[in-house]
């Protein structure tokens, strides 16, 4: 296997087709619904056209939820309302259909795929299709040690790439990306603070299960200490993921970048997917053009990352549960944009031509009235007192 060179993504990733987007904009101007009347749905439809390279845009028919799962030992510090090592129980809820994201996905008819990267449990406790890509058991405590070795980080990154290829090859036309983790928001906040040059207190939020003030202070301290360890490796994104990320975050970053290579659009969920996207932007600056921010979770680190990438969330519902639930809420909006852009009829050509024809039929009529107006003017002038014609008529009398 050849060494992983992240610089290759800069050459491999192209922007969505600009020519197709212009064609989509021109078609939109011809639709029966006035331009601008559909608000942001117009922009979404044009973005999808460019991503697909098709005008009119195809409907989004085979979306899929992909969740990367992992535990983080930093949770042992009491930075989460959930117990350290508790992500495996959350995964079981998703698999069994009892989680928020599983219920939403079932309601929308979207399949869910969970990928275990570093859960703190025996892999035999999970379905084989879930545990097949595991790199290690729980990522390291990032305030005092690396989350992963560089070899583990590369393995996780490649696993994410492989999952992206599997989804593209199976016909998935849009991905909803989320995470299932305990301690993951602490690692995400550290990555975002490091890449944005921000203090720990600015990016530290309350997490998926809201924490009290004392837990927030512990979390802020953990981010601060991890941030000190992150700064020396800022120039190497793989080393950054190994130092203060985790197996699930490294896999999600590789997944996002490979989705951009494969021209597969992605809806981002919360702060963890936003952190991975920010790392991906550092790797390949054109990659974010393939991603949408599904929702604003209220986490300050997510807001910081989305602002840095110039992304505006589709929804603002403050959903912090994770598991892709917030992004799933945005999926019907994207599907509606595709349906409207692809199925609204164009205005009949006769209407457009008719307005021009009306103008052309009025012009000759105006021209024919000009001689009559001139004759009338001359007649009025001849009748005017003192005119030569009037004097001649008087002399005749």
Could you give the C-alpha distances from 30 to 25, 270, 323, in angstroms and in order? 9, 37, 40
Strand partners, 346: 31
Burial class (CB in 10 A: 0-12, 13-18, 19+), 306: buried
Please, are residues 127 and 350 in contact by the beta-carbon 8 Å criterion? Answer: no
Out of 43, 152, 323, 346, pick the active-site residue: 323
Give the separation between CA 297 and CA 306, rounded to whole angstroms: 11
Neighbouring C-alpha atoms within 13 Å toward the C-beta of 45: 28
* CA-closest candidate to residue 73, choices 226, 204, 250: 226
Active site residue 323: yes
Give the separation between CA 158 and CA 267, rounded to whole angstroms: 21
How far the first Cα of the chain sits from its last, in Å, is 119
Residues of 99-137 as b/e, b for ≥16 C-beta within 10 angstroms?
bbbbebbeeeebebbbbbbbbbbeeeebeeebbebbbbb
* CA-closest candidate to residue 338, choices 50, 26, 37, 29: 50
Task: Write down the residue that tokens 């979306």 correspond to.
Answer: 63
Give the separation between CA 141 and CA 145, rounded to whole angstroms: 6
- DSSP secondary-structure letter at 2? P
Give the separation between CA 397 and CA 385, rounded to whole angstroms: 16
Helix (H, G, I), strand (E, B) or coil at 384: coil
* CA-closest candidate to residue 30, choices 391, 353, 363: 353
**Catalytic residue ranges:** 323
């Amino acid at each position: 296997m050849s060494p992983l060179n992240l610089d290759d993504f800069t050459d491999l990733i192209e922007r969505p087709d600009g020519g197709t987007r212009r064609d989509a904009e021109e078609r939109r101007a011809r639709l029966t619904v006035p331009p601008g009347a559909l608000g942001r749905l117009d922009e979404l439809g044009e973005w999808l056209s460019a991503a697909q390279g098709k005008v009119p845009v195809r409907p989004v028919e085979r979306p899929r939820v992909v969740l990367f799962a992992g535990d983080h030992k930093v949770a042992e510090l009491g930075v989460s309302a959930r117990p350290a090592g508790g992500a495996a129980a959350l995964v079981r809820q998703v698999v069994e259909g009892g989680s928020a994201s599983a219920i939403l996905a079932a309601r929308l008819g979207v399949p869910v795929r969970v990928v275990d990267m570093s859960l703190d449990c025996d892999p035999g406790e999970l379905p084989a299709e879930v545990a097949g890509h595991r790199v290690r058991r729980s990522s390291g405590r990032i305030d005092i040690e690396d989350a992963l070795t560089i070899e583990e980080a590369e393995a996780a990154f490649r696993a994410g790439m492989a999952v992206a290829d599997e989804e593209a090859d199976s016909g998935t036309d849009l991905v909803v990306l989320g995470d299932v983790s305990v301690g993951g928001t602490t690692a995400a906040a550290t990555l975002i603070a490091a890449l944005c040059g921000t203090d720990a207190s600015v990016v530290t939020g309350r997490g998926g299960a809201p924490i009290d003030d004392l837990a927030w202070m512990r979390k802020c301290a953990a981010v601060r200490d991890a941030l000190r360890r992150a700064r020396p490796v800022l120039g190497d994104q793989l080393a950054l993921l190994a130092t203060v990320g985790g197996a699930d975050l490294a896999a999600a970053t590789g997944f996002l970048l490979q989705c951009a290579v494969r021209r597969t659009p992605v809806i981002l969920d919360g702060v963890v997917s936003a952190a991975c996207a920010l790392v991906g932007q550092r790797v390949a600056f054109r990659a974010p053009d393939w991603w949408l921010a599904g929702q604003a979770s209220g986490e300050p680190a997510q807001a910081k990352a989305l602002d840095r990438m110039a992304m505006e969330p589709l929804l603002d519902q403050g959903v912090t549960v994770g598991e892709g639930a917030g992004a799933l809420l945005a999926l019907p909006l994207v599907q509606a944009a595709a349906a409207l852009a692809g199925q609204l009829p164009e205005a009949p050509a006769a209407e457009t031509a008719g307005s021009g024809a009306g103008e052309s039929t009025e012009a000759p009529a105006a021209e024919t009235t000009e001689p009559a107006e001139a004759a009338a003017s001359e007649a009025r002038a001849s009748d005017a007192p003192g005119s030569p014609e009037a004097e001649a008529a008087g002399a005749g009398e």
